[in-house]
Structure 1
Amino acid sequence: MTEPRLTSQLRISALQKLTEADGGFATLLHKGDPTSGAILLVGQIKGRDPVLFERYPALDGSLTWHRVTLSLLAEDAEITKYWKTRTRRDPDLWVLELDVASTERLDGLLAADS
């Protein structure tokens, strides 16, 4: 018997609302499959230093966020190119950008969605 899981669209909506409730900004860059599309997250602190995160299954079957490493000094253009390439290959992929006040707030949002 499979355990019920939240849909991708519901997870995206929750992340947007939590971010905005704390004074941050959430921008949907690409809409994926509402039920089971994978989620790629671009996290920024006060509009700078973008970092990519993607959810992968852990050993216990739960989904956890992992940082995607492109280069030591990833720029906006490199990150944009990466997610656009990914969405061409996987049109079901969601891409959400969160711009928050601190690294701690971003970590808290990711932990809340694990």
Structure 2
Amino acid sequence: MIDDRLPAHLEVSGLIRAVEAEGGFGMVISKGERTAGTLMVICCNRATPARAYERMPQLDGTRKWVLSKEQDPENPHEFMAWYRRRGEQDDDLWIVELDIENAERFIDVAPHNS
């Protein structure tokens, strides 16, 4: 099976540029493997709790964005500690923050409704 994914560093760069072109802010929190790294995208906005999405392999061979964790408004620091631990456990993982309203649209996920 041929893997025709974009190199991770190009996908990250594209996400950040797209968000910034729409008036938002994008930032790399942690760099992973340059070519074949995996991505975690943290979608945040002042109006909603942060959400972390990771692309997970599916049985049919596709890779789908899946909500891994949502920030608890009562304990926001726990969310940050969680994604930092994930980054320490996986050297291939890129962690990218997209700070814009409805950030999920940039990773083709249905809008989040709180």
TM-score using structure 2 length: 0.82
The yes-or-no answer on 1:110 pairing with 2:74 is: no
**Residues 72 and 34 of structure 1: is their aligned pair in 2 closer, same or farther, counting only changes over 3 Å?**
same
Amino acid corresponding to residue 88 of structure 1 in structure 2: E
**Aligned-pair distance for 1:74?**
7.0
Secondary structure of 2:108's counterpart equals: helix
Question: Structure 2, unaligned stretches of length 5 or more?
Answer: 110-114
Aligned 8 A contact 1:52 1:79 in 2: no
**Residues 70 and 22 of structure 1: is their aligned pair in 2 closer, same or farther, counting only changes over 3 Å?**
closer
**Residues 57 and 100 of structure 1: is their aligned pair in 2 closer, same or farther, counting only changes over 3 Å?**
same
Cα separation, 1, equivalents of 2:61 and 2:97: 26
Cα separation, 2, equivalents of 1:59 and 1:5: 17
Amino acid corresponding to residue 84 of structure 1 in structure 2: R
Name which of structure 1's ranges 70-79 and 18-27 shifts more when overlaid on structure 2: 70-79
**Residues 84 and 98 of structure 1: is their aligned pair in 2 closer, same or farther, counting only changes over 3 Å?**
same
Number of residue pairs matched by the alignment: 109
**Residues 42 and 76 of structure 1: is their aligned pair in 2 closer, same or farther, counting only changes over 3 Å?**
farther
C-alpha RMSD of matched pairs (Å): 2.2
**Aligned-pair distance for 1:19?**
0.5
**Residues 107 and 64 of structure 1: is their aligned pair in 2 closer, same or farther, counting only changes over 3 Å?**
same
**More helix as a share of residues:** 1
Secondary structure of 1:69's counterpart equals: strand
Question: Structure 1, unaligned stretches of length 5 or more?
Answer: none
**Aligned-pair distance for 1:85?**
0.8
Cα separation, 2, equivalents of 1:82 and 1:10: 25
**Residues 110 and 29 of structure 1: is their aligned pair in 2 closer, same or farther, counting only changes over 3 Å?**
same
Percent identical pairs in the alignment equals: 28
Name which of structure 1's ranges 17-26 and 43-52 shifts more when overlaid on structure 2: 43-52
